[in-house]
Amino acid sequence: MDDVPPTPIEASEAPPVSTVTTAAHQAADDAPRSSRRVTLAVLALAMGGFAIGTTEFVTMGLIREMADGVGVSIPSAGHVISAYAVGVVVGAPVLAYFGARWPRRALLVVLMLVFALFNVATALATSFEMLVVARFLDGLPHGAYFGVASLVAASLVPEGRKGRAVAAVMLGLSVANVVGVPAATWLGQHLGWRAAYWAVALLSLLTVALIVACVPSCPGDAEATGRRELAAFANPRVWVTLLAGAIGFGGMFAVFSYVAPTVTRVGGLGDGAVPVFLLAFGLGMVAGTWAAGRLADWSVSHSLVIGAFGMGLALLAFWLLSPTGWGLLPVAFTVTTLGSVLVVNLQLRLMDVAGDAQTLGAALNHASLNVANALGAWLGGLVIAAGAGYRAPALVGVGLSVAGVLVVLVANRMQAAHAARTAQRPAAHSSAVTS
């Protein structure tokens, strides 16, 4: 039996050993090459987040120089920060509405070119009015960029790694607070505030080049229509998720907006301590964004609860430890760590609950977060103006976090109910076919 030659079919189906070896080597070579391509694509997308994060927060560090440059008071110059936030809130749904059918790589390129243009407009502004308009226009691409970049990153990886891919894109925004903002602030202080925005414009153009070189062509949704995108607003799960971000994340901004006087007037530290605390906030964002991706791949619902509830506890600790000075430093790190866990998982939840309106749903997260920015800073300012002191915004933050936890629990319950209904439909259809 052992000497029976193989049949012609068996012989033809048995590849030569050299062919098997070559195929195995080819597969081994392709896997790391594919992994490298994905890594480079995600890094290119994160570079855009780095540029956006730098321009968003550097204004706070250069507000005095900008006020002097256009001849207004510092409180009046603060309106340029609000103008950018309003631009984000307006631009996210509008650009997502009109760009849903565009090829996604092309849309990202256009968004970053527009972003570069309005950073140049900011640098060239010669009056306060021109500056406010330029900052408003510069905020328009913010939410749409992060939304589309998150969709592209998630499409490049297997299901179990989508959370980490989206977190990697968001990491650019976090790293900007540690590297980009201090560097751009230093540049603005030594070469004039306009230099910071010229630098961001160059970063934006670098991002365009990286996206073209590294991000694969991604078709848009050919079936998308404005009406279908707007249908997301009829979905109560979208609204509840947006509310969770606007309220729950507002607590962090209630504290972050007034960290300088809290550290110096309540904690008794010198002005030199403020940059250290800002660095701790930035490092917390980086750590939280990194952790958020891994937590999201475990469970988005549980991660939302961890982020919202944990941030509430951290803000309570911030209120308790404010008078201790340096004892507050690890708390500042923890606040933004847990806040970033909340942000990334809200992004993923919106991408899910938006259904067919993927572009709009993904973009709305940053509109929600900028509402949180305005709400937290406004409520924190109210309690300070009422005479409650600079510790009081932390208690405002605790209240917002508690409300945010309740909204997250409602959102999770709605999501679980939707998943149960979806699971029942195939079973019901199968029963009908069988009968």
Q: Residue 333: give its domain's CATH number.
A: 1.20.1250.20
Contact 360, 239 (CB under 8 A): no
Q: Please give the average per-residue pLDDT across 359-368, as a whole number.
A: 80
Region label for 6, one of left (φ > 0), alpha (ψ between -120 and 50) or beta (otherwise): beta
Please answer whether residues 152 and 358 qualify as being in contact, where contact means their C-beta atoms are separated by less than 8 angstroms: no
Counted domains in the chain: 2
Q: Evaluate whether residue 260 is within a structural domain.
A: yes
pLDDT confidence of residue 75: 66
Q: Which whole number is the average pLDDT over 10-26?
A: 39
Q: Is residue 35 part of a domain?
A: no
Q: What percent of the chain has pLDDT over 70?
A: 86
Are residues 173 and 240 part of one domain?
no
Question: Is there a domain that residue 356 lies in?
Answer: yes
Asked whether the predicted pLDDT for residue 315 surpasses 60, the reply is yes
Looking at the structure, tell me whether residues 184 and 53 fall in a common domain: yes
237 with 112, same domain: the answer is no
Task: Give residue 426's pLDDT.
Answer: 58
Task: Supply the pLDDT for residue 210.
Answer: 95
Residue 68 has pLDDT above 90, yes or no: no
* Cβ pair 305, 412 in contact under 8 A: yes
| Range scoring the smallest mean pLDDT among 119-128, 247-256, 318-327 | 247-256
Q: Which residue would you say has higher pLDDT here, 391 or 221?
A: 391
211 and 308 part of one domain: no
| pLDDT value of residue 32 | 42
pLDDT digits (tens, 9 = 90+) for 98-145: 877 788 899 999 999 999 999 999 999 999 999 999 999 999 999 889
What per-residue confidence (pLDDT) applies to 7? 39
Residues 286 and 408 in one domain: yes
State how far the Cα of 74 lies from the Cα of 63, in Å rounded to an integer.
7
Please list, in sequence order, all residues whose beta carbon lies within 8 angstroms of the beta carbon of residue 128, skipping any fewer than 6 positions away.
70, 71, 72, 76, 77
Residue 327 pLDDT class (50, 70, 90 cuts): very high
Which of 81 and 200 is assigned the larger pLDDT? 200
**pLDDT tens digit sequence for 370-401:** 888 888 888 888 888 888 888 999 999 999 99
Q: For 355-378, what is the mean pLDDT? A: 80
Q: Any alpha helices (H) in 354-391, and if so which ranges?
A: 358-385
Q: Give CA–CA dist 163/146, Å, rounded.
A: 14
| Residue after which a domain boundary falls, among 180, 203, 224 | 224
Average pLDDT over residues 239-244: 91
Q: Is the pLDDT confidence value at 22 over 80? A: no
> Cβ neighbours of residue 110 under 8 Å, at least 6 residues apart?
99, 102
Residues 166 and 255 occupy one common structural domain = no
Q: Is the pLDDT of residue 409 over 90?
A: yes
Q: Is residue 218 part of a domain?
A: yes
Whether residue 198 is found in the same domain as residue 51: yes
* pLDDT for the residue 15: 41
Does 202 map to a domain?
A: yes
User: Given this model, what pLDDT does residue 331 score?
Assistant: 94
Q: What percentage of the chain exceeds 90 in pLDDT?
A: 36
Is 26 domain-assigned? no
Q: Report the pLDDT value the prediction gives residue 226, as an integer from 0 to 100.
A: 65
Same structural domain, 250 and 194: no
pLDDT greater than 80 at residue 367? yes
Phi, psi (deg, nearest 5) at residue 249: -80, -15
Q: Which has the higher per-residue pLDDT, 50 or 231? A: 50
Amino acid letter, 280: A
Task: Give the pLDDT confidence score for residue 370 in this predicted structure.
Answer: 82
Is a pLDDT exceeding 60 seen at residue 273? yes
Give the DSSP H or E segment for 12.
helix 8-13
Tell me the residue range of the domain where 302 lies: 227-422
Average pLDDT of every residue of the chain:
83
Last residue of a domain, one of 197, 224, 251: 224
Q: Is 16 helix (H, G, I), strand (E, B) or coil?
A: coil
In a shared domain, residues 174 and 129? yes
Could you tell me if 216 and 329 lie in one domain? no
- DSSP annotation of 157: S
In angstroms, the first-to-last Cα distance of the chain is 52
Say yes or no: 211 and 338 in one domain.
no
Is 11 part of a structural domain of the chain?
no
187 and 163 in one domain? yes
Please state, in angstroms and rounded to a whole number, the distance separating the CA atoms of residues 330 and 214: 38
pLDDT band for position 183 (cuts 50, 70, 90): confident
End residue of a domain, out of 167, 199, 224: 224
Q: What is the pLDDT of residue 4?
A: 41
Q: Which amino acid is at 120?
A: V
Is 432 a domain residue? no
Torsion over CA: 35, 36, 39, 40 (sign): negative
Give per-residue pLDDT as tens, 79-88: 788 788 889 8
